[in-house]
Structure 1
């Protein structure tokens, strides 16, 4: 007789029936859904702008207002990604929170920046296949990174590999800096590798999280100024892009330098 052949008894008190995760959406989950919605709207805004640009017969990059809208939506998605975790820790989250977060991140920090880069790469003759390869690398790196993160034990002070929101912002900065096409492809492939690498990035907790939110707010303001044609807006965008790329490249070395003395003391 198999276990299922016997009578089904009601579960005793204190078993899985009482401890099952809550599957109703909480406030943190709505922030996560807002993250996914911003990623979708960024793709929609980019596709609409690209279609209008092509229909008008205009050459060159997309208008600043269109690009500022797309990047601004991605920055808002990144801010919501920081907020949902803090809200979940303070108010509690649902049993779906982690899964929703991963799915939203694939949209906002995987597909959206990958599509953004492909659209940029289509401007250069003969580069579209390479741009598609680099954009696909971004999307796959985000998926692999999120899957690996789900399998890691919670509570670590560091992310293994470049976090997806920072990876997405790095891809965006490559497009905004508008480098030579092959250099842009190489940079995006490097960013994809960083996301699945073993390099460590500190988690933005406590004051660090508020600092990240402040930086994202400044980024949204700069993009709005750039899109509206404010004088020196282009210079500010270049400075912001250089700062983002500098952060991404130097932080792992800073982590290694600060952890070595600690390990030596042990």
Structure 2
């Protein structure tokens, strides 16, 4: 009993230490957004409470960011929400149908096609950057949100994740539905999807975060400033004249709020989806 309690104590202490290591940069960002520019660097190398807590609290950074007419942050957040929500919905629909086909349907060369899909996971995104840009340019989609939406719709890891989850759904349930005259799409819509809500939410969160944090691709394909996304807009506070770190911290804190809210409401489904994937 003593050994078990000691093991649990060590385990929880280790987990708490890891959580603290992960939270410290976030706390420094949030609390640093309430500092003046000078104070950020004044205590950057000190090992005392003021490394995190500001000496003089100020809201000026948020006022400057929110009311900046040259960089209207809420416009950029709205652009990002628009693109991210559309991509997330379409990714869930398209990739869940592909995963359903790989998991429950029989067709020629299914395993070969699936292996080809999985092999795409090892290809770095930088390799496809130039071909994707040339394709968007040929289609006339440069400087249009279609260039941000359509290249992101096929999510190879998402297909793998959902296929593993769909494979656990009993075949007897599907065969019974087929005997009752249900079409494949009705089986997919009324049986498969309701049974895979945790996996769908997991993929939704992953897709949402990936598109919310996108920087390089929007920087390349979107030229008009009012159409730009939030991460590129935050980078505008950096210039040859210097980095406005106080504003950057405030803008990053504001842009993080939607992600934190979404994760707090959906975290139990996210954890369940990850833990149940691939388990018999």
TM-score past 0.5 threshold: no
Provide TM-score, normalisation by structure 1: 0.28
Provide TM-score, normalisation by structure 2: 0.27
Higher relative contact order (CA 8 A, sep 6+): 2
Larger Rg belongs to: 2
